Amino acid sequence: MKTTVEISDVLLEEVKKVAAHEGRSVRDLIEEGLRTVVGTRQVRGEFRLRKATYKGRGLRPEVEEGSWDRIRELIYEGRGD
């Protein structure tokens, strides 16, 4: 399929140099670049959060009810005031 793409003059000159040095066409390099970009985007897949658990005996009794206010009090206990 033919299509028209606007590329900066500086980039096109670099591509032409690389193509000449490697004995390839500009089209080959453009297709290779596009395949690389598309391939890296497909590899990523779905994000999965890794399991991050720690051995222990659970929460301390002071914070077992899960109140953030109580946790905040314990963090700052003895500081300030």
DSSP string, 22-67: HT--HHHHHHHHHHHHHHHHHHH-S--PPP----SS-S-GGGTT--
Query: What's the pTM value of the predicted model, to 2 decimals?
Result: 0.50
d(CA 11, CA 16): 9
8 A C-beta contact, residue 28 and residue 18? no
- Name every residue whose Cβ is closer than 8 Å to that of residue 19 and which is 6 or more positions away in sequence: 25, 26, 28, 29
- Given this model, what pLDDT does residue 77 score? 86
Per the listing, tokens 């970009």 go with 37
8 A C-beta contact, residue 60 and residue 70? no
pLDDT tens per residue across all 81 residues of the chain: 888 989 999 999 999 999 999 999 999 999 999 999 888 877 666 788 888 877 887 777 877 777 888 888 888 888 876
